[in-house]
Amino acid sequence: MKGVKQHSIFLLAAAVLFCVSRTLYAEDNPRGIFFSDILTWRDCLELTIKNNPQYIIAQKNLETARLNYNLAVNQYTPSANIQYGFQKSNYDILNQQNYWSLTASANQNIFNWEALSNIRIQKENTNQAAAQLQQTSAAVLYGLKQAYLAMLYAQQSVELYKNIYEIRKKSADMIRLQYEGGNESIGNNMRASALAVAANNGIKAAQRNLVVARKNLVAVLGVDIGNTFTLKDTLAPAASKPVDINSAAENTPQIIISKNALQIARLQLSSSKAGILPVLAAGGTWGLQDDKPDLRNASTIWTVSVMLSYPIFSGGITAAKENIDIAKTALEQSEEALKQQYFTTRAQLQAASAALETDIDTIDSNKLLLASAEQMDKEANIQYLAGMMDFQIWQSVEQDLVNYKSAYLTSLYTANLDSASLDNILGTGLEKINE
């Protein structure tokens, strides 16, 4: 009974410590930063969305664009003021007067082409910022995939070189025994030993590359999660992604951004005509006026005004025409930029799609070649020990095995990189992947 009671107290204390640690963790990690020895792709994706500086900046740019649009709209909403003050007039020296007044005034733009155009421009700027956020999101995701794949490749390279070292070490031991038995030359024995040393150095180089790849991944994540974590995944063959080049290009961020830029240029041309258009505004004032500050015997005062102003040579005799000409030139430049962007995007999509399909074919070829190399190596070992194959031929068969092991891993890495590149051009962003 006493043991059960002690066990219950221990469990209760453990639960309390866990809750306290979770509370402190939440307070110290406002962005949800966690530390783990093993990360999955989902872990890296969530960390990037929460912490990547480039992505956060793009989100803030969109927020700023929306606020600027609201400010532009406010230019066309009524403005109102309440004023309480004192005024002394001495227009007539013999009849000087003091006035206390409390007034409320309101003004409203009825027609102001520049302000109206600015609202539409800021609206399009908001659309532009949204497209730029999508482009940044795709770029950040591409950077994450690059870093993630590079670390996977580095991890598997370490294991690959360990496997190669085992092959080389086993072969070196076998050749040494053959040499000690008088059945092999000293040069071949030295070469087999050297290949084992080179394979061991390959392990060291792969481990150093892994350290670099881990640092590069941390830089993309935007948060320091230590230097000892590993990735849970392994490189796998990339899937084919058939792409309709023309329709896909239409929805890419770079085309959307160019279209927005063209629309902004059109709106700026329209806005440039404000220099030759009138401005119409209305206003009114209502209030109380008295010679005492308490306004007990105040009289009512009010005014109503409608103002039409027309700019004549505002900014110079030819300023209005030159502003319009500048806007026309900017519009023509935007039209040509959009045309060029279509050509560039379609070419990029075609090249990326073709590269991915070629990579998939290469993976299939390397997989078959690796299988054949593994079989040939088994046969070559038997034939060499039986004296039916000389060292040079046997060694070349083993070298093919090593080469195709490396080639297969590299082809997996390259195909996944090219798949990520195609997604980047298509504008696949962090949000879509995280759905």
395-416 pLDDT, tens digit per residue, is 999 999 999 999 999 999 999 9
* pLDDT for position 227: 83
When pLDDT is cut at 50, 70 and 90, the band that residue 32 belongs to is: very low
287 belongs to a structural domain: no
- Tokens representing 206? 């792969």
Cβ within 8 Å of residue 435, ≥6 positions away: none
Res. 97 pLDDT band, cuts 50 70 90? low
Q: Could you tell me the CATH number of the domain that includes residue 247?
A: 1.20.1600.10
pLDDT classification of 12: cutoffs 50, 70, 90: low
Q: Is residue 404 part of a domain?
A: yes
Residue 250 lies in a domain: yes
Inside any domain, residue 16 = no
Q: Which residues are CB-contacts of 135 (< 8 A; sequence separation ≥ 6)?
A: 253, 254, 257, 427
How far is the C-alpha of 426 from the C-alpha of 242, rounded, in Å?
Answer: 12
Return the percentage of the chain with pLDDT > 70, whole number.
Answer: 88
Residue 93: partners with Cβ closer than 8 Å, 6 or more residues away = none
- Tell me the CA end-to-end span of the chain in Å, nearest whole number: 52
Q: How many structural domains is the chain composed of?
A: 1
Task: Indicate if the pLDDT at residue 104 is higher than 90.
Answer: no
Q: Which residues, 6 or more positions from 20, have their beta carbon under 8 angstroms from its beta carbon?
A: none
Residue range of the domain that includes 156: 47-80+112-275+315-433
Residue 91 lies in a domain: no
User: Does residue 38 fall inside a structural domain?
Assistant: no
> How many other C-beta atoms are found inside a 10 Å radius of the C-beta of residue 421?
18
Give the pLDDT confidence score for residue 288 in this predicted structure. Answer: 83
Rounded to an integer, what distance in angstroms lies between the CA atom of residue 46 and that of residue 52? 10
pLDDT-based confidence at 88, cuts 50/70/90?
confident
pLDDT of residue 145: 95
CB 39 within 8 A of CB 230: yes
Tell me: the pLDDT tens digits for 110-149?
888 888 888 899 999 999 999 999 999 999 999 999 999 9
pTM of the model as a whole: 0.79
Is residue 291 over pLDDT 80? no
Average pLDDT value for residue range 193-216: 96
Cross-strand bridge partners of residue 80: 106
- Its sign, for the CA torsion 417, 419, 425, 427, is negative
Between 297 and 62, residue with greater pLDDT = 62
Beta strands 230-231 and 279-290, pairing class: unpaired
Angstrom distance (rounded) from CA 66 to CA 125: 8
Asked whether the beta carbons of 233 and 316 are under 8 A apart, the reply is no
Give 93's pLDDT tier (boundaries 50, 70, 90). Answer: low
Q: For residue 22, is pLDDT > 60?
A: no
Residue 309 lies in a domain: no
CB 29 within 8 A of CB 36: no
Residue 87 in domain: no
181-190, 204-213, 223-232, 302-311: range with highest mean pLDDT: 204-213
Taking only the tens place, the pLDDT of each residue in 305-354 is 888 887 776 666 777 788 888 989 999 999 999 999 999 999 999 999 99
Query: 87: which residues sit within 8 A by CB, 6+ positions away?
Result: 98, 99, 100, 101
